[in-house]
Amino acid sequence: MEAPEELERQIADCDAILAAGGDAGDRERQVDVARALVAKGVALAGLGRVDEAVACHEEVVARFGDAEDLALRQRVALALGNIAYGRSEEGRHDEGRRDEALAVLADVVARGAGDDDPDIHRYVGSAFSDTAELLHGDDPESAIAALDALLARFGDLTDPNMRILVAAALARRGRYLEDQGRAREALATYRDLRDRFPRSEGPYVDRHVAHGMRRAAALAARSAERLRRRLGRR
């Protein structure tokens, strides 16, 4: 975590960029402004000034939400993800904020439909994952559906960042199914995780695979124990 004085310095640097003159229609100027607003929002959030942070990100969406330029689309997707994150944190204790976060996440997914940019893929995949986390407690079926959407859309990509998201989604899907008592489906999901990642792909993927294999082994052991008890009663 960065020191408050460093975050304040970052905010001042961003303000200097935002205050600079220039042609508002110039592409490079627009990208600089979008980046500065996102960076300022992140710094404000680091200081606990959440509403001000959200306002910065909302300004990015308001000013550049219809842009076709890739760099601006990336900043918009990132800004929306940051808004959703802030609202998600508040939504753990405030249902209204949670609904706001879900709406923003849905916007990220909709805006990224059909986009082939790897950064946009990452933002959309994270939006599916965050949606699942928000819904898991009250609507587990919809949470699993969000993970299924992530897997259907990005499950075959080879980008390392997306492979991490896919591995995490499979591990989480298995856990959610376990929570619902759907042991066979959970076990099938963990096996799918194993089959998709038969070799090491780095510590982040490997951690999710290892977790899934531990859960699969525990499920198999419980199943074997139930079978043993049934046979013992005969």
- What is the per-residue pLDDT for 219? 92
CA distances to 171, 175, 213, 222, 230 from 219, rounded to whole Å, are 14, 11, 10, 5, 17
pLDDT digits (tens, 9 = 90+) for 33-52: 999 999 999 999 999 998 89
pTM comes to 0.86
pLDDT tens-digit map of 50-87: 889 999 999 999 999 999 999 999 999 999 988 888 77
Domain boundaries, the chain: 1-154, 156-234
Average pLDDT, the chain: 91
In 3D space, the residue among 141, 217, 213 whose CA is nearest the CA of residue 180 turns out to be: 141
pLDDT confidence of residue 21: 67
Domain 1-154 part of CATH 3.20.20: no
Distance separating alpha carbons of residues 68 and 48, to the nearest angstrom: 32
Q: 194-217, pLDDT tens digit by residue? A: 999 999 999 999 999 999 999 999
CATH of domain 156-234: 1.20.58
Q: Say what the pLDDT of residue 98 is.
A: 85
